[in-house]
Structure 1
Amino acid sequence: MMSDEWTESGQDDQSALVPKDATQHQESARASFASSVFNIMHAIMGSGILGLAYAMSSTGIIGFSLLLLFVAVTAAYSVHLLLVLCEQTALTTYEDLGFCAFKTTGKVMVAGAILIQNIGAMSSYLFVIKSELPAAIAGFLHNSYNGTPWYLNGQILLLITVIFVVLPLALLPKIEFLGYTSGLSILFMVYFTIVVVVKKWFVPCPLFNGTVNYFQSAYAIPTMAFSFLCHTSVLPIYCELKRPSKSRMQKAVNIGMILSFSIYMLSALFGYLTFYANVNSQLLHSYSQYLPRDPVIMSVRICILFSVLLTVPLIHFPARKSLMLLFCSRCPFSWLCHILVTLVIQTVIVLLAIYVPNIQNIFGVVGSTTSTALLFIYPGLFYLQISRESLKSSRKLKALGLIILGILIGSVSLLVIIITWLHNEN
């Protein structure tokens, strides 16, 4: 995967190149501290924000707040372990740390997890397009229809969008210009949160149901893990930081986590207080039911759709990179292989977006498997294997705790999610 001097980086911007050697590292660094914080927030925040209010309705305000804080703190600490390993080994990608720890097996573990994680993320984005684009179009039309015309059919609109927008962008060998739109994503998330807070006072309060559904609570931590995963982007961001140091990068991560936590918490809290137990697993659906033609909600929907539309091709690049690493890492670049892999990935995510009935299922399954692995298990496992500290050292004990915690959270959550599916079918 790595050339003699450089290696590709990044989950969101594949055009960036990071140095393999630590001395080259400082020469190429050019990103300011504020820019690094911004990039971390962009790596963290995504479609997960739409499912957090539903998670709060399942766990209650206090339970959700404690769980979200716990996941945020744990995510920041697992990033800390990766940064320590980066400093010790001078490696700059998650896959290379996996190779350093367990050779080819470790690299395959990380590449496979990143592939599944990114497929889940892209599927959740396409799910948003499928569900929100028809509502956005209908909001501008004032006619009543018998049946559903093709331009209000979510599946048809999804296919048109993927074929004519997402696929051409994903087929490009480089997608540098889309990196400049990443700033809009954060602005859209902030705007979304402001609207959620304001609209709390304009939506008729539905009948409150104070009960907590413990089956649905199983989706809470996986959704949070899905929402806070930025680990595949942290090392490339670190490599681009001016005056790079572990403490400086950790400070950027902490600030990014705190700001993301604040945005997540506000949107979840006021989304829940607006609809209580009636909140949908995709928050914008709830607003569609109560404020179907509200111009502010329509503007939010357009902003989210625009953000999602340009994010899918960006996430596609590391997914394709991981897939090619798994199956054709020794092959030189080939347009045929490039196109075939792109088509395979696009087909998979479209099928998932069409046939998965609820975005909550994507958050739950991906969050309880690859998100917990990349956020909890792998950082702790790689630290135990690579670091030369004593096994009784504080960091290694905490790393072991991360591994145990990740296994417990992932296995229990996935088990309860499967039981929930079986329960719902019955």
Structure 2
Amino acid sequence: MNVNTYSSEQIPPEYSEEQEQEQEPLLGDKVRIATNNDTSWYGAVLLIVNAALGAGLLNFPYAYHEAGGVLVAILIQTFLMVFVVGALFILVYCSDLQNSKNYQEVVHSMCGSVGLLCCSIAITLYCFGTCITFLILLADQWQEFFIFINAKLYCVTNPWYMHRIFIIPVTSFIIILPLCFPKKIDFLKYASGIGTLSILYIVGLVSIKYFLPHPPPGHINKKPVYWMDVFYVIPTICFSYQCHVSVIPIYSCMSKRTMKEFSKSIFASIFLCVIAYTGMATFGYLTFGALINNDILLSYEPDDYIIVAVLLLIIKTYTTYPLLHFCGRAGLDSLWCHFWNLSVQDSQVKEAQRRVTMTILWFLSTLILALFIPNIGIVISFLGCLAAGFIFIFPGICIFQIGIREIESTWKSQVSILLGIIYLSMGAFISGVTFCQSILKDVKGIPTELPSGCKNFTTTTI
């Protein structure tokens, strides 16, 4: 899974396979994929689910509210699932043509160096933005924890040692930053189990709390106020179901690497993700209605069960940030090598110095931005535009290239060209509309919502 801009044919003979594996970076956006080809189809299901279920889960109920209610959002989600699954099969098919091992190699083999450059930039930006959402998420969960410990102290006096400007930098420097420096971070793959369990716990908790006695919800939308509002849910859907960058490394590790075998993994994992996201969004939104928060956990009155969910999410976030940073740093390093035209051997010179410098600059910039961005909804709306590129644009270009490379025009080549045009058109339209909506929301300003535990205090100083 090498992110450098060199194909397998360009690797010099003296560059051994052992050296290549030693510097092999993470390309999955939430998981570390092992290099041994011993993954079964049901093992691949767990990896894909862990890659797809993430921070977008907490924003899903609010996205349902913005889009105009449960029915509208589910219809849009169902429509987009056709393209999400189709893109996965396109990528797997293209990876088989050149035996590609990661997303960049697929794009490189189909689109050349220019496509690889654009893909590396997109992955770097996506990982950078996702790291910001993780730090914002930490700030939200820590304030919920402090409210549970002492609501009056936090909501009224807001002491400095409980403020997000203090707690996030200190804990991040102590926990996250040391985990970002290593060249290989294989040991963090064991944290993916905790991450999956924490997400399942949160989904189950939100669903159960809907059937328990709770205060009456706010207004529940049955349809969008304006027809353009339906597009508000699309960035969250794209961000939440974006596991495409991880799928090719997972596929390359299967013991039986065939599209027929992997199709079982794709359908099973997407089905589980749809159940989790739809259940979370539906029950969460119907519980609070218009009173829903950008982060669903902040809408609940803190209790023992909510705090367990908060602590699990905090642990997951602290261990997941380094994985995303590792992926983004690999993309950034490949861009550096591309712009300076470094060979494989030259790229190893001062590699440690470059890695440390990139890590520090990456960490500090994401930390500063996270401290001044009020909620994860703002970042997710922009990341959804990039995720649409991984789901629509790059797969569309790949399948289009397959069609035009055919010497003779056949029905298969014509279908490939048609699919490519459809995917590219959808990707351009969705990215353009959602990006404009994100800009307009940012210009209008989104008020910072108070956690539920602070709403009873009138002298809040958050």
TM-score greater than 0.5 by the shorter chain: yes
Q: In structure 2, what residue type is equivalent to 1:252?
A: S
Q: Equivalents in 2 of 1:204, 1:312: separation in Å? A: 35
Q: Distance in 1 between the 2:315 and 2:225 partners? A: 34
Matched residue, 1:364: 381
Instruction: From 230, 233, 247, give the equivalent of 2:260.
Output: 247
- The structure 2 residue matched to 1:118, chosen from 99, 119, 127, is 127
Question: Is 1:338 aligned to 2:355, yes or no?
Answer: yes
Structure-2 separation of matches of 1:306 and 1:356: 22
Task: Give 1:377 deviation, angstroms.
Answer: 0.5
- Name the counterpart of 2:187: 177
Q: 1:72 aligns with which of 81, 88, 110?
A: 81
Q: 3-state DSSP class of the match of 2:196?
A: helix
Residues in 2 aligned to 1:186 and 1:15: alpha-carbon distance in whole angstroms: 15
| SS of match in other structure, 2:157 | coil
Could you tell me how far apart the structure 1 residues matched to 2:60 and 2:119 are?
26
**Cα distance, 1:360–1:216 mapped onto 2, change above 3 Å:** farther
Corresponding residue for residue 194 of structure 1: 204
Contact map agreement 2:139 2:168 (CA 8 A) in 1: yes
Query: Structure 1 pair 350/218, CA: closer, same or farther in 2 (3 Å)?
Result: farther
Change (3 A) 1:213 1:414: farther
Which of 376, 399, 404 does residue 420 from structure 2 map onto?
399
Task: Give runs of aligned pairs for residues 117-196 of structure 1, distance below 5 A.
Answer: 117-141=126-150, 144=153, 146-196=156-206
Q: 2:219 is matched with which residue?
A: 208
Shift of 1:121: 1.3
Task: State whether residues 197 and 271 of structure 1, in contact with CA within 8 Å, keep that contact through their aligned partners in structure 2.
Answer: yes
Once the two structures are superposed, what CA deviation does each residue of 1:236-272 show, in whole Å capped at 9, x if it has no partner? 1011111110121122112111101100000000000
Whole-Å separation in 2 of the counterparts to 1:15 and 1:422: 40
- Distance in 1 (CA, whole Å) between partners of 2:72 and 2:193 is 32
Percent identity over the alignment?
26
1:102 pairs with one of 67, 86, 111: 111
User: Is 1:16 aligned with 2:24?
Assistant: no
2:402 and 2:416 in contact (8 A); partners too: no
1:131-163 per-position Cα deviation (integer Å, ceiling 9, x unaligned): 111321331347636521123111211101210
- Inter-partner Cα distance in structure 2 for 1:326 and 1:348: 18
TM-score scaled by length of structure 1: 0.91
- Say if 1:424 and 1:313 are closer, same or farther in 2 by CA, change over 3 A: closer
Partner of 1:38: 46
SS of equivalent residue, structure 1 residue 241: coil
Instruction: Count residues with an aligned counterpart.
Output: 411
CA distance in structure 2 between the partners assigned to 1:281 and 1:332 by the alignment: 43
Task: Judge conservation of contact 1:55–1:217 (CA < 8 Å) in 2.
Answer: no
Aligned-pair distance for 1:14? 4.9
Within the candidate set 66, 84, 91, 1:82 is matched to 91
Q: 1:340–1:386: structure 2 CA closer, same or farther, 3 Å change rule? A: farther
Q: 8 Å contact 2:217–2:286 — kept in the other structure?
A: no
Q: Secondary structure at the match of 2:153?
A: coil
Residues 346-355 or 256-265, more deviating: 346-355
From 360, 377, 389, the counterpart of 1:373: 389
For the structure 1 residues 259 and 102, does the alpha-carbon distance in structure 2 shift closer, same or farther, using more than 3 Å as the test? same
Measured against aligned partners, the alpha-carbon deviations of 1:167-216 in whole angstroms (never above 9, x if no partner) come to 10011111111101112211111110110011112321133243635476
Aligned pair 1:54/2:70, yes or no? Answer: no
Give the counterpart of 1:93 among 102, 107, 110.
102
Residues 310-332 of structure 1 deviation map (CA, whole Å, 9 limit, x = unaligned):
11111111100000100135221
Query: Which position in structure 2 is the counterpart of 1:25?
Result: none
Q: Distance in 1 between matches of 2:296 and 2:225?
A: 18
Provide the rounded CA distance (Å) in 1 between the counterparts of 2:70 and 2:33: 41
Q: Is the 8 A contact 1:10 1:16 kept in 2?
A: no
Indicate how the Cα distance of structure 1 residues 362 and 173 shifts in structure 2: closer, same or farther if over 3 A, else same.
same
Counterpart in the other structure of 2:249? 236
Q: Distance in 2 between matches of 1:246 and 1:186?
A: 25
Query: Which residue of structure 2 lines up, in the alignment, with residue 352 of structure 1?
Result: 369
Change (3 A) 1:424 1:10: closer
Q: Is the 8 A contact 1:171 1:342 kept in 2?
A: yes
CA distance in 1, matches of 2:244, 2:93: 13
Corresponding residue to 2:401 among 367, 381, 385: 385
- Hey, what's the Cα distance between the residues in 2 that align with 1:213 and 1:183? 41
Instruction: Assess if the C-alpha contact under 8 Å between 1:14 and 1:318 holds in 2.
Output: no
Cα distance in 1, alignment partners of residues 379 and 419 from structure 2: 29
TM-score by length of structure 2 reads 0.84
2:324 paired residue number? 315
Task: Check conservation: 1:114, 1:319, Cα contact below 8 A.
Answer: yes
Whole-Å Cα distance in 1 between the matches of residues 151 and 72 of structure 2?
Answer: 42
**2:421 counterpart letter in structure 1:** L
Contact 1:111 1:322 in 2 (8 A): yes
> 1:323/1:251 Cα in 2 relative to 1: closer, same or farther (>3 Å)?
same
What residue identity is the alignment partner of 1:340? T
- Deviation string 1:260-303 (CA, Å, 9 cap, x unpaired) is 1100000000000100111111111111xxx13x1111111111
* Distance in 2, Cα, partners of 1:182 & 1:144: 35
**RMSD between superposed Cα atoms in Å:** 2.1
Aligned to 1:51, the other structure's residue is in SS state: helix
Unaligned runs of 5+ in 1: 18-27
